[in-house]
Structure 1
Amino acid sequence: EKTIFTLDKLLITYMFDRGRKGSTGWTGQDTNGVSLRRSKRGWMWNQFFLLEEYTGSDQQYVGKLHSDSDRGDGSVKYVLTGEGAGTLFKIDEKSGDIHATKRLDREEKAYYILHAKAVNRFTNQALEGESEFIIKIHDINDNEPRFTKDLYMARVPEMSDIGTSVIQVTATDADDATYGNSAKVVYSILEGQPYFSVDPETGLIKTALPGMDREVKENYQVVIQAKDMAGQMGGLSGTTTVSISLSDVNDNPPRFTKTLYEFRVPESTELGSAVGVIRAMDADIGENAEMDYRIISTDGPGMFDITTNKSKQQGILPHTSVFQPLDFEKKRQYSLRVQVENVHINPRFFSMGPFKDEATIKIIVEDVDEPPVFERASYVMEVKEDAPRNTVIGSVSASDPDDKNSLVRYSIDRRTDMDRVFNVHAGNGSVFILRELDREEYAWHNISIIATEFNNPRQSSRVPVYVRVLDINDNAPTFATNYETFVCENAKANQRIQTVSATDPDEPLGGHRFFFSLAQEAAGKANFSVRDNKDNTAWILTRRNNYNSLQKSIYHVPVVISDGEFPMQSSTNTLTIRVCTCDREGNMKLCNAEALTARAGLSTGAMVAILLCIIILLMIVVLFAALRRQRKKEPLIISKEDVRDNVVSYNDEGGGEEDTQAFDIGTLRNPEAIEESKQRRDIVPETFYPPIRRPVLPPAQDNNGDVRDFINQRLQDNDSDPTAPPYDSLATYAYEGNGSIAESLSSLESVTTEGDQDYNYLSEWGPRFKKLADMYGGDNSDRDS
């Protein structure tokens, strides 16, 4: 405080010296040693201090400015500028007195810098230079301490020792800490005893009571007070709340809720299924409550295990024995001793006792109706492929594991034997074959046999049976491939032209051994020989010099191949050798057509069949061309309308050529045009039937005989026509006669319509036409119609 006062005094003295004008000031030297001299100004005033929060009714007097140039005659005018001039601070122009117009707050602004000068009131000429001075606000205790937080959160481990630090709180006071005790804060605890205490100077909160247990009380609310004026009477204060929670430590062991647990489990429980769940309780939380379960003793080693569910802190007991399933008939009860222990143990609390617990578990096995059990997990049986039907190849056996020991019936799962190759005796489980087997078709058969209880057919089980078919030598060897062999016309005797090998679907234990030889029937007249190489191959050799393809272009060599097994199997294989023209090095140059055909693997019958197919195709093409040519001829029916629409009623005696305007003469079809082709247009006939030409009927003697014969003949032709459609059809028999010199008796072909026509030139058909005319009941004028 004395230091501050001295500093203020020096500041005012300095300001006063600056304001003295014309007097000798301080002297000194600069850095170069040159003498310095300050001239004093003529300013004169008192110290400027101002208390904050002034509550008087009058304006608070700050101080007075005075210049030695002022003679009191009113000619000097004082001017004030700077921070708050004219608003917060006002100066009397004549006397130089300064007053504060408002209450000031030091915490808002601690000092103000202002400027003052003295001027001539009349000439406004400066009498003193502008000078700077400071108005400082003196502090009063008008602010209470404030904490940095309204609510503090803190945690401290339970069971902490006395004096364990919890948290430090801090309060600040806006008053001037350098002046008096207005900003000196003291801390105290209002609520929270006797559990916690606070350091009065630092605000550090500590534990004050030993053995605070989280499991008893976890949260505490502590109220801290901060008071200024060093805690003396009249000081201002502020408070805050501190929420303190006790964090958990592992100070509690796990404990079973029971000393004896009992579980019942059916003997059909599958491997890995849980038979029971146990749980120990721990008052701690989090990792301090983590526990581990284990079996410490049991009368069924390997039958059960115990695992820990970390999320629920439970012990789960699954059935784990693969080789010893639960069996009511063998063992009906198991006893286990289990232990639970904390995973994370705090050595600090060892003195409180062991952090583990034990309990007994009793597991009772309940009886269930079980399906039959086979003696084996699978069966393997063998049978030779030549075994006759109903041969027994083995047997299976199953029994009821229950105490009642029900009888068992056996059957084949037909889904595994859809061809019904095997069967099983329902009573004794003997497996036998129903038909002969072929190893080369199936070497293994995989079937399933079902065992079912007589008393409860729903209880059944199945077992796989693998049947191996043993090989016997029942296949003869043959050529390994289809050999394409040729011999040159200039070949020499005993020349090798082909190496052959054999294949056999049988599989003897010692491997195949083939023997090659020439067939006996070809040995005497053979042109080639066979040499066995004793390594399952043979050479085909020539037996003479030169071969002529013109004399014989293909040779067939029968080769006998035998195997070395019992019973021995052999076959005769024909090797086709064609004669070709070769160069001097033996390279084939040319073979005749027959040889090429043989090379292609085609027989004479195949070639004939191909030629017949070609001929049939050519005939079909010709027929198709004929039909197209027929379509291009002039249609017999000119009108596109159906003939049923062309029914004309004649009520007169005939109109000659005028009748053709109403009746379509095209419906009178030409018989020769009809007979040109009677092929079906909707199908292609398998065999080509030529059109049947019928002789013209001789003249009849009766009145209507020729027409009747004509109709009957056409009806017979259509009935016997194989190309006619197999459904009802309309046949139009429009017949004008045959053999007429004029080719037509219709008025359409008449050159003239004047008078009657002379029909005497109708040598053969004249009488018949007269009969037709008489049938129409007309005279000569009706003949045109």
Structure 2
Amino acid sequence: MYERALFALCLLTSVLFQSAASCDLRPVLAQVPKRLPAGYVISEGKKELTLEGCAVKPVAFTSSDPDFAVNTDGTIFTVHGLEITIKRFSVLVQDENGSEWRVDIVLSCKDEASQKSGSVAHKRAKRRWRPLPFNLFENDKPPFPKELEMIASDSSVNYTVYYKISGQGVDKDPVGLFILNKQTGMLSVTRAVDREQYPQFNFKAQVFDLSGRETDQYLPITVNVNDMNDNAPEFSGNRFFTVEERCRAGTVIGKLNATDKDEPKTLHTSIKFTLLNATDMFSIDAFTGVLTAKTNTLDREAQDKVFVEVEIRDMGGAPSGLFTKGTVVVNLTDVNDNPPTFKEKLYKAKVKENQENMVVTRIPVEDKDLINTPNWRALFEVTKGNESGNFRMETDPKTNEGLLYVIKGLDYEKTPLVKLEITARNDVPLVGVEPKWMSVPVELSVEDEDEGPEFNPGILYLKVKENVANGTVIGTYKAVDPEKKNSDGIKYYKITDPGNWINVVENTGELKVANTIDRESPLVHKDMYNITIRAVDESKKTGKGTVILQIEDVNDNIPVIPGTDLIMCSKGNTLSSVLVEAVDMDKAPYSSPFTFELGADNDGKWKLKDTTDTSVVLEPASAILNGVYSVPLIVKDLQGLGKEQIMNVRVCNCEREENGVGICGVRSASSSLGSLGILALVLSGLLLLLLSLLLIFICSTKRDKLYINDDTGTGGMLLKSNTEAPGEEVKDDALMIIPGGELVDGSVKSGLMESKNVTSAPGRYGQPLFQGGTGVYNTTTQEFGTEKYYSSGRYDNNMSGNLTMQKFSNTSALDTWKTNGRYLERKLAYFGEEEEGRYADDLLKTYGNEGMGSPAGSVGCCSIVGEQESMDFLNTLGPKFRPLADVCYTTNRTGN
């Protein structure tokens, strides 16, 4: 069979070559003058244009260059005058069959020097090149070289020439593929060629005379390599696809791609796709490669991956075509097409009565869908037998088993056997109409236990009026032993009774009132009050019950006005009013609507209006002044029960009103001053007058210079401190410091020293200052009116010396005051001395900050030593004298 196909191909090739040889269309080569006038004839009746030897007749000629035209007989002439050096164009010849033939025209200028004689110059030289392009078959078989085609030039008629080729395949890669016989012009190929590597070759041929001069224009040569089917198709792109199971038939799964290296758009590259297996599941388009589902029964649970063998064959799938086989993988994804199924047809279990919140049994299921997906996870439900809500179902997330819980205790005496039906579902709906959710029956055997007494009913409702007499029996609440079916031997006790309102008779279960039942108590919610009772049988088993008292109201509360202090805003000439509201803890018909009346002590200044069920508007009968008024008001409920209540109404100028309630503004002096206020103003005026007279008296007296020592740093002012210790404003420098004192255990030590080597030096504030070797004398003489006082003291690092005050004349009242000041100074100096009994408490101490308690100590032990004048008042100055002493002590302190 293969030999016959090869013979037919060779026969077709020979026929084609014979046709080409019999219809030999070569280019028209002509030499023309450089200047061509219009109408110049290029050629006349060339056989190339008349299709001589082609067995057809030309009917039309078309020039590709508008400067040239062709007559119906094939004569070429110029249309316009032009000048050329070389000119190339083509003529399209249409035959009587409608086929088109192309003839190349090449014009070149005449070269007189190239002609062999002068007579030849008047003769047009003829050229002849073989038709282009040439063809060869790829993968040709030896022997090589093989002759391919002959090239020739008409210039060989006039010259002895030789030929030469150059370019691709000759002296360029692939080098040496083509060779040329220089004398004959025969072109040969030296080896086989692969079209997929070199589909075409382009090089040029040249002709030379013996002198090496090129006698003609070079000829471009094109060699086309004819394709042979030497490459099998290959798969390209993805070959892994995914589709849902149970997808409908015709669903596109994916597209296969294939390539072929042979010449495109030929039978060599016409590929056909064929399935070699799984043809019952899939189908493929033979020429597009689109893979589709053939059925709607693809089942992931049966096969989650399908390996499909596909063949691709060129030559349109002909048996002679080349082929390749490959595998396509189709993954089937899961859908919920399988319901959970139970492993057993009936499940049985046991449970003890009264057990709660425990697992009774585990119910396993199977699901063929993909594990740990919503298609696989099971949801369980008790669809029958759970009308009382005793059970619930859960799912074990690891095993996918159903867990049956009992959440309310079962009663063996009532239901010794419980029949249930359990249904299993998935998280998502089922796909398809055939599968349905499945159910399984479950039987639970209830095991008997010795139970405690049971109250019947479990909750007892009793109606009782509030305020019923203590000891009243309001009902009986008994329990029954479920095994004996009676109440013998059962005793009763209270568990909860918030208000201790009820007593339970231990043996009978009677409920008696123990304390006043009050419906308005906060222990009552919506007229109901709860009590829990415990019943205990002879075996110490217990039961519990609840009693709910539904308390009926009685008229035991009167209407009251919550706020009796009311504010009425004064509005000038317009009458003001205020809203009075009342409440009653009782409910209808013992509460609203209320009746409002003014009391008997009403002075006629007030009236009521706009009465509602629970409120009334109070307003003055006529204009009244600002002030506080007492208004008696009687409020009664619907049954006429009530009493008189006093309203304190303040009439004032309101600063603002919030939610209808006035806020009084600040009262002016004119409105707030009474008789006591006026008296206070008069007394203040008299005090001011007396103070003025005192100032006039002081200013009229003789002014003497007063010695003030500013060593304390206070600036001549007494500073106020809120505690007995010095404040922040009284610094350490402002406190009295005993000159030369040393701190020993928080006290000041001082000693006596003698004077020697006394020198004189100017003192501060005009005082003469005498300084000795180990101490300083300070003397001061001051005049106060008609009196002179002299003081002297010696100070060193240990103690103050002596301080004497001498009286030179009689004193006036002012002088007496100054004399007392000197005694005070002496007293201060005395405080600096260390003696028994005054070591810690009577010495002045400096504190850096204020603190709790009084650091001032006591002045009770102070006394005047060596003086005849009575200064007892200094002993009663109190602890506040200490801060004052710190400021007023003015003795100068100097030393080495």
Q: 1:26 aligns with which of 49, 58, 75?
A: 49
Partner in structure 2 of residue 409 of structure 1: 493
- Contact kept? 1:290, 1:344, Cα under 8 Å: no
Q: Percent identity?
A: 17
Q: In 1, distance between residues paired with 2:461 and 2:288?
A: 89
CA deviation digits over 1:365-424, x for unaligned, max 9? 45676897684658687664x778x576967847488658875421336xxx5xx67565
The one-letter code of the counterpart of 1:511 is P
Q: In 2, distance between residues paired with 1:174 and 1:503?
A: 106
The one-letter code of the counterpart of 2:48 is G
In the TM superposition, what are the counterparts of 1:210-229 in structure 2 within 5 Å?
221=307, 223=309
Q: 2:748 aligns with which of 626, 632, 645?
A: 645
In the TM superposition, what are the counterparts of 1:135-534 in structure 2 within 5 Å?
135-148=223-236, 174-175=261-262, 221=307, 223=309, 237-243=323-329, 256-265=342-351, 278=363, 281=366, 326-336=410-420, 359-365=440-446, 375=457, 384=466, 397=477, 399=479, 403=483, 407-412=491-496, 417=498, 422=501, 424-425=503-504, 427=506, 428=509, 430=511, 432=513, 439=520, 449-452=531-534, 454=536, 470-473=554-557, 482=566, 505-506=583-584, 508-509=590-591, 511-519=593-601
- Contact kept? 1:46, 1:64, Cα under 8 Å: no
- Contact kept? 1:111, 1:136, Cα under 8 Å: yes
Partner in structure 2 of residue 37 of structure 1: 75
Q: 1:69 aligns with which of 152, 155, 160?
A: 155
- Contact kept? 1:374, 1:396, Cα under 8 Å: no
Matched position secondary structure for 1:80:
strand
Structure 1 residue 457, shift from structure 2 partner:
9.6
- Contact kept? 2:741, 2:799, Cα under 8 Å: no
Structure 1 residue 262, shift from structure 2 partner:
1.7
CA deviation digits over 1:502-535, x for unaligned, max 9? 665545435322443444xx9xxx8x57888896
Q: Say if 1:576 and 1:440 are closer, same or farther in 2 by CA, change over 3 A.
A: farther
- Contact kept? 1:410, 1:452, Cα under 8 Å: yes
The one-letter code of the counterpart of 1:646 is K
Q: In 1, distance between residues paired with 2:582 and 2:318?
A: 122
Matched, 1:107 2:196: yes
Matched position secondary structure for 1:409:
strand
**Most deviating of 261-270 and 240-249:** 240-249
The one-letter code of the counterpart of 1:79 is K
Matched position secondary structure for 2:27:
helix
- Contact kept? 1:157, 1:249, Cα under 8 Å: yes
Structure 1 residue 9, shift from structure 2 partner:
6.1
The one-letter code of the counterpart of 2:139 is E
Matched position secondary structure for 2:213:
coil
Q: Say if 1:85 and 1:188 are closer, same or farther in 2 by CA, change over 3 A.
A: same
Structure 1 residue 330, shift from structure 2 partner:
1.9
Q: In 1, distance between residues paired with 2:649 and 2:404?
A: 74
Runs of 5+ in structure 2 lacking a partner? 1-8, 31-42, 51-57, 63-68, 77-104, 106-125, 653-666, 688-716, 759-771, 778-792, 806-819, 824-836, 842-852, 871-896
Q: 2:219 aligns with which of 124, 127, 131?
A: 131
In the TM superposition, what are the counterparts of 1:707-718 in structure 2 within 5 Å?
none
Structure 1 residue 362, shift from structure 2 partner:
0.9
Q: In 1, distance between residues paired with 2:595 and 2:205?
A: 138
- Contact kept? 1:383, 1:470, Cα under 8 Å: yes
CA deviation digits over 1:201-254, x for unaligned, max 9? 999999999999876666564555566789999986533234467888999897
The one-letter code of the counterpart of 1:661 is Y
In the TM superposition, what are the counterparts of 1:605-620 in structure 2 within 5 Å?
none
Q: In 1, distance between residues paired with 2:284 and 2:605?
A: 125
The one-letter code of the counterpart of 1:80 is I
The one-letter code of the counterpart of 1:97 is M
Partner in structure 2 of residue 768 of structure 1: none
Partner in structure 1 of residue 846 of structure 2: none
Q: 2:644 aligns with which of 547, 570, 580?
A: 570
Structure 1 residue 100, shift from structure 2 partner:
3.1
Q: In 1, distance between residues paired with 2:394 and 2:328?
A: 40
Q: Say if 1:276 and 1:726 are closer, same or farther in 2 by CA, change over 3 A.
A: farther
Q: In 2, distance between residues paired with 1:731 and 1:281?
A: 108
Matched, 1:80 2:165: yes
In the TM superposition, what are the counterparts of 1:115-126 in structure 2 within 5 Å?
115-122=204-211, 124-126=213-215
- Contact kept? 1:478, 1:502, Cα under 8 Å: no
The one-letter code of the counterpart of 1:258 is E
Partner in structure 2 of residue 750 of structure 1: none
Q: 2:795 aligns with which of 648, 652, 661?
A: 661
- What is the aligned residue count? 621
Q: In 2, distance between residues paired with 1:210 and 1:651?
A: 134
Q: In 2, distance between residues paired with 1:554 and 1:309?
A: 79
Q: In 1, distance between residues paired with 2:133 and 2:231?
A: 27
Q: In 2, distance between residues paired with 1:249 and 1:497?
A: 85
Q: In 2, distance between residues paired with 1:529 and 1:168?
A: 106
- Contact kept? 1:411, 1:449, Cα under 8 Å: yes
Structure 1 residue 105, shift from structure 2 partner:
0.4
Matched, 1:733 2:756: no
Structure 1 residue 261, shift from structure 2 partner:
0.9
- Contact kept? 1:63, 1:97, Cα under 8 Å: yes
Matched position secondary structure for 2:152:
strand
- Contact kept? 1:45, 1:66, Cα under 8 Å: no
- Contact kept? 1:149, 1:240, Cα under 8 Å: no
The one-letter code of the counterpart of 2:739 is S
- Contact kept? 2:274, 2:284, Cα under 8 Å: yes
Structure 1 residue 187, shift from structure 2 partner:
8.1
Structure 1 residue 652, shift from structure 2 partner:
11
CA deviation digits over 1:639-691, x for unaligned, max 9? 384794333257999x9997823464499899xxxxxxxxxxxxxxxxxxxxx
What's the Cα RMSD here? Answer: 7.1
Q: In 2, distance between residues paired with 1:667 and 1:174?
A: 136
The one-letter code of the counterpart of 1:362 is E
Matched position secondary structure for 1:107:
coil
